[in-house]
């Protein structure tokens, strides 16, 4: 039987986490009252009373793993752990390739702020292409992971080709650097996916957030915020979960397949966020970890050295439940490769749309996706 003292300590650990999730994580110096003033009504109401935290539709990152079948195909009648938006937002309705501008999800806007160049894509449901190939809905998925579209590409009848293109652009842009990622919220699940024991996880106190509940990127770009995980949602007598609930994980990524596997883990939530730090060499990893473990809020401009790149993918996984999905690139230097790669993948996506009617088998599909995700001047999928 768990001791009353442990139960009390658990409740003390839960309260600040739930409060932060209810009122929104905000930059230091902004009071809770001030933050609530600018929140939408549903979010403001959720912050007014602690009991409401357990039932408010605003609760972030609720697990949706029950919605995915073992083969990776999402059930049409999956359990809904969050209420649907009001009628008229068409959340949960997927029309293959039905978008107003097919390449809108690759059109970056450039600016300069806080000592860094930034390149951003902000898209809503109408501009983030849903699964294009009809076989993703109609065909049975192979058991072989190398032939299964979900296990190989993190593409299925719900998460379309466009998100795979975002990952491919991220991987190509950061080539030649040592890559480290912070997966928001699902630290332990990602560690298990990578075969890393929890005692070997590089823990960090700060993670990055771009809030997809806000339709304007400059307001949504919070920067570094206190980390948190879903550890307290699991039933365990191990105090490690309680002691480390306020830490994210910093993981090295050595292949495009690993990046895809991590994003596949994050797809189990209603929204996901994956941050990539592309550094000059492996020795910079300890410096990054130290910066993300300091007591004061880190400054990204001070973390990155010239030639290094930061990428953040904040994604609405529920097709209209949130106003935006964001792809953010930041760097100390002008980075023309962003627009060059956006043009490359836009053309590749257009070619894919033109030939998708010729795809009839899983082998055809994988060949087409390998071509879609290939970096410039190559004919196949990423290997590095």
Given a cut of 50, is residue 95 above it in pLDDT?
no
Mean pLDDT, residues 104-110 taken together: 94
217: CB partners within 8 A, 6+ apart:
120, 122, 210, 324, 326, 328
Give pLDDT, residue 320. 67
Mean pLDDT, residues 306-311 taken together: 98
Give pLDDT, residue 318. 78
Give pLDDT, residue 322. 78
CA 372 to chain centre: 21
Helices (H), 205-248: 217-220, 239-243
Compute the distance between CA of residue 27 and CA of residue 34 in angstroms, rounded to an integer.
11
Given a cut of 60, is residue 366 above it in pLDDT?
yes
Give pLDDT, residue 125. 76
Cβ pair 188, 245 in contact under 8 A: no
| Distances in whole angstroms, Cα of residue 362 to Cα of each of 73, 144, 148, 149, 255 | 14, 11, 8, 8, 23
Compute the distance between CA of residue 170 and CA of residue 168 in angstroms, rounded to an integer.
5
| Helices 161-173 and 337-355, axial angle in degrees (round to 10) | 150
Q: The tokens 């039932």 sit on which residue?
A: 55
Q: How many CA atoms lie within 13 A of 101 on its CB side?
A: 9
68: CB partners within 8 A, 6+ apart:
74, 75, 78, 150, 268
Give pLDDT, residue 45. 34
Compute the distance between CA of residue 384 and CA of residue 380 in angstroms, rounded to an integer.
12
Given a cut of 90, is residue 328 above it in pLDDT?
yes
Q: What is the DSSP string of 258-282?
A: HHHHHHHHHTTBSEEEEEEEEESST
pLDDT > 70: percent of the chain: 69
Compute the distance between CA of residue 245 and CA of residue 234 in angstroms, rounded to an integer.
11
Higher-pLDDT residue of 355 and 271 is 355
Looking at the DSSP assignment, which residues form a beta bridge with residue 312?
275, 328
Query: What confidence tens digit (pLDDT) does each residue in 238-253 have?
Result: 677 777 888 999 999 9
Would you call 86 exposed, middle or buried from its count of C-beta atoms within 10 A (0-12, 13-18, 19+)? Answer: exposed
Given a cut of 50, is residue 66 above it in pLDDT?
no
End-to-end CA distance of the chain: 50
DSSP 229: B
Higher-pLDDT residue of 16 and 80 is 16
pLDDT > 90: percent of the chain: 57
Q: How confident is the model at residue 378 (pLDDT cuts 50, 70, 90)?
A: low
Query: What confidence tens digit (pLDDT) does each residue in 185-229 have?
Result: 899 999 999 999 988 999 999 999 999 899 899 999 999 999 988
Q: How confident is the model at residue 237 (pLDDT cuts 50, 70, 90)?
A: low
Q: Which of 7-21, 43-57, 262-276, 368-382 has the lowest mean pLDDT?
A: 43-57
Cβ pair 254, 35 in contact under 8 A: no
The pTM (predicted TM-score) of the whole model is: 0.77
Query: What confidence tens digit (pLDDT) does each residue in 124-166 have?
Result: 877 888 899 999 999 999 999 999 999 999 999 988 899 999 9
Q: What is the DSSP string of 109-153?
A: EEEEETTEEEEEEEE-GGGS-----THHHHSPPPSSTTT-HHHHH
CA 239 to chain centre: 28
Measured at the alpha carbon of residue 173, what is the angle toward residues 249 and 162, in degrees to the nearest 5? 85
Q: How confident is the model at residue 327 (pLDDT cuts 50, 70, 90)?
A: very high
The 10 Å CB-count burial string (b at 16+, else e) for 207-236 is: bbbbbbbbeebeebbbebbbbbbbbbeeee
Mean pLDDT over the full length of the chain:
78
Give pLDDT, residue 257. 96
């Amino acid at each position: 039987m768990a001791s009353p003292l442990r139960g009390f300590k658990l409740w003390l650990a839960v309260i600040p986490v739930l409060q932060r999730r209810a009122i929104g994580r905000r930059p230091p110096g902004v009071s809770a009252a001030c933050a609530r003033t600018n929140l939408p009504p549903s979010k403001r109401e959720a912050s007014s009373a602690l009991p409401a935290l357990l039932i408010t539709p605003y609760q972030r990152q609720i697990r949706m793993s029950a919605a995915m079948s073992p083969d990776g195909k999402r059930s049409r009648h999956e359990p809904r752990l969050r209420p649907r938006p009001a009628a008229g937002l068409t959340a949960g309705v997927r029309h293959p390739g039905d978008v107003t501008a097919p390449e809108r999800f690759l059109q970056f806007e450039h600016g300069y702020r806080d000592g860094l160049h930034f390149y951003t894509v902000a898209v809503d449901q109408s501009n983030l292409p849903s699964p294009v190939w009809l076989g993703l809905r109609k065909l049975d998925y192979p058991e072989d992971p190398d032939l299964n579209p979900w296990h190989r590409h993190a593409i299925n009848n719900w998460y379309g080709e466009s998100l795979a293109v975002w990952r491919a652009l991220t991987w190509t842009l950061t080539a030649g650097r040592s890559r480290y990622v912070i997966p928001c919220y699902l630290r332990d699940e990602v560690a298990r996916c990578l075969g890393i024991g929890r005692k070997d996880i590089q823990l960090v106190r700060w993670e990055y957030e771009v809030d997809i509940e806000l339709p304007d990127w400059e307001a949504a770009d919070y920067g570094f915020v206190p980390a948190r995980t879903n550890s307290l949602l699991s039933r365990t007598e191990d105090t490690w979960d309680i002691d480390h609930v306020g830490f994210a994980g910093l993981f090295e990524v050595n292949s495009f397949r690993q990046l895809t596997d991590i994003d596949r883990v994050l797809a189990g939530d209603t929204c996901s966020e994956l941050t990539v730090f592309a550094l000059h060499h492996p020795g910079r990893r300890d410096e990054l970890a130290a910066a993300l473990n300091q007591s004061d809020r880190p400054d990204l401009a001070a973390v990155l050295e010239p030639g290094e790149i930061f990428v953040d993918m904040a994604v609405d996984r529920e097709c209209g439940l949130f106003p935006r999905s964001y792809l953010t690139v930041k760097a100390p230097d002008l980075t023309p490769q962003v627009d060059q790669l956006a043009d490359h993948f836009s053309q590749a996506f257009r070619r894919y749309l033109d030939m998708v009617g010729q795809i009839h088998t899983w082998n055809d599909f994988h060949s087409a996706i390998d071509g879609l995700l290939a970096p410039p001047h190559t004919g196949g999928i990423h290997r590095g």
